[in-house]
Each structure stands twice: as C-alpha cells, then as structure tokens.
C-alpha cells in the first residue's frame, strides 16, 4: 500500500481522512504537531505528505520550508478557505498543491492521486531529451539543466518546464497548463499555476542576453522563448 503522512492537529479530521484514503489503497499515518511531523516526513518513507498550515509548535509553513531544504517529497497543503495569502506562501515555499478546508474527501483523494502521478513522472510524454537554447530536460531521469548545471525543481516545476519546452516558441494557455500540470480544471480565480511559473523563472535565472526564459502573454498564457538564432530561421 502507498503510505501517506497526514500532519494535522485535528484528530477527528485525521481519522476521517484515513477512513476515506485506506479503501483507496493508501496506508495513512497521522501526527498532530509540527516537530513530529517534520521528523516523520524526512525519515518515515512516505510517498506524500498532507500538511495543515495551522499546527502547534512549528507551523505548517516552517515544516514545509524545512522539508524542502532536504527533500522533494510531494506535499499537499491544507489551508483555510478564503486565505489566499496562505496558498501563495505555501506555493512559494514549495507545496505541490493545496486544498482549502473544509474539503470534500473525494477531492482530497483526486488531488493526492494527481500529485503522485506528477511526482512519479507517469504522465511524461515520451522519453526524449528536450533542449531549447541552454536549457535541457531529461524526462527519463527527471533531471533539468541550465547552462550544463542541474536545476533543483519540484515535480510540478519539472512538469511545467516539460510542457513549455515541448511548445517552445508557442503560447501555452493557462487553461492547458492547469490541466496538464496540476491535473484539474481551470478556474479564473486560481492563481497557483502563476505562482509555479514565477518560481520556475527564478530558478532558471536570466537567459543569455538578459530577460526571462518564460514570457507572459497577457490574456493568453505563457511562452518559453527560443533563442534568436533558433527562431529567426535561415
């Protein structure tokens, strides 16, 4: 069974989550404070962490920050409904996705499965190495490089870069990115894909000649810009 770690101080909620996840083939372990949750997340051999923001001791943001210092384990963040700031901060720190509380348990199951698919690379389209300018991505090894140096990406950022590289030079609508990368339907009020693009931009740094690799096309989506020598033609 796939092992899931739930870090939440609401004991009844943890029991409810286990009740829904275990028939779906998941083995659930629940802990109720940040310190113990962090230790389990780093050493417990789980496939995914469901992490609440509001925790006794160290809060969920600090737990997530410390996890990301040494681990790429997928993290689904639980936030208070309507707290957009929590979602933005969580995505900036490195959450793979978020779900506002209270939530439908079926949606939780769907989100967990989507995150696990993305993190395992089972949604990768083909295995050929992608190269655009000085950016290279190998779907088979799940390694990205920029100017020959590895770039440390989360599973969401890796899949996002993969989609953009495959369509380099073309605008990719936000709707398609949300569907392909986050595995859900697009909502005009959901800005999570924009946060992931922003983080990916920062990690890639400046392209040769200055500027960003990923350009925003207002009202349309995003484009991974080809270097001039690749896009100018003969």
Answer for the pair 174, 186: CB distance below 8 angstroms, yes or no. Answer: yes
Token reading at 103: 């939530």
Nearest partner of 162 among 124, 192, 193, judged by Cα: 124
Q: How confident is the model at residue 53 (pLDDT cuts 50, 70, 90)?
A: very high
What pLDDT is attached to residue 162?
93
What pLDDT is attached to residue 229?
64
| DSSP code, position 223 | E
Count of all residues that appear for the chain in the document? 234
Q: What percent of the chain has pLDDT over 90?
A: 52
What residue segments make up the domains of the chain, in order of their start? 2-120, 130-231
- Give the span between the Cα atoms of 126 and 209, in whole angstroms: 31
- For residues 38-60, give the mean pLDDT: 93
Token reading at 179: 């569907």
Q: What is the distance in angstroms between the CA of the first residue and the CA of the last residue of the chain? A: 55
- Give the span between the Cα atoms of 136 and 15, in whole angstroms: 44
Residue 125: φ, ψ to 5°: -95, 95
pLDDT digits (tens, 9 = 90+) for 104-140: 988 999 999 988 887 776 544 556 889 998 999 998 8
User: Does CATH number 3.40.50.2300 belong to domain 2-120?
Assistant: yes
Looking at CATH, the fold of the domain delimited by 130-231 is given as Arc Repressor Mutant, subunit A (1.10.10)
The DSSP element (H or E) to which 21 belongs, if any, is helix 11-21
- For residue 178, pLDDT beyond 60: yes
Nearest partner of 76 among 59, 55, 95, judged by Cα: 95
pLDDT digits (tens, 9 = 90+) for 67-105: 999 898 999 999 886 677 888 888 889 899 999 988 898
| Entry pTM | 0.70
Neighbours of 204 (CB within 10 A): 21
Token reading at 120: 């395992």
Beta bridge partners of 221: 173, 217
Handedness of CA 199, 84, 41, 17 (dihedral sign): negative
- For residues 208-227, give the mean pLDDT: 85
Distances in whole angstroms, Cα of residue 144 to Cα of each of 39, 129, 154, 205, 214: 28, 10, 11, 13, 15
Nearest partner of 140 among 156, 158, 121, judged by Cα: 121
- For residue 230, pLDDT beyond 80: no
Mean pLDDT for the chain? 87
């Amino acid at each position: 069974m796939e092992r899931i770690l739930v870090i939440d101080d609401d004991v009844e909620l943890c029991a409810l989550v286990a009740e829904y996840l275990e028939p779906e083939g998941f083995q659930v372990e629940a802990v109720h404070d940040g310190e113990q949750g962090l230790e389990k997340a780093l050493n417990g051999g789980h496939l995914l962490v469901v992490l609440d923001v509001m925790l006794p001791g160290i809060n969920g943001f600090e737990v997530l920050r410390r996890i990301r210092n040494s681990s790429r384990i997928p993290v689904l963040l639980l936030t208070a409904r309507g707290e957009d700031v929590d979602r933005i901060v969580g995505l900036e720190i490195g959450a793979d996705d978020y779900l506002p509380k209270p939530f439908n348990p079926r949606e939780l199951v769907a989100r967990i499965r989507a995150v696990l698919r993305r993190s395992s690379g089972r949604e990768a389209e083909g295995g050929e190495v992608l190269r655009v300018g000085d950016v290279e991505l190998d779907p088979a090894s799940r390694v990205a490089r920029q100017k020959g140096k590895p770039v440390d990406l989360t599973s969401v950022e890796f899949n996002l870069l993969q989609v953009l590289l495959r369509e380099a030079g073309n605008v990719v609508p936000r709707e398609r990115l949300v569907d392909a990368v986050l595995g859900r339907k697009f909502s005009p009020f959901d800005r999570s894909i924009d946060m992931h693009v922003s983080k990916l931009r920062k990690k890639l740094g400046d392209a040769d000649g200055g500027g960003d690799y990923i350009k925003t096309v207002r009202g349309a989506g995003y484009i991974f810009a080809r270097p001039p020598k690749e896009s100018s033609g003969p």
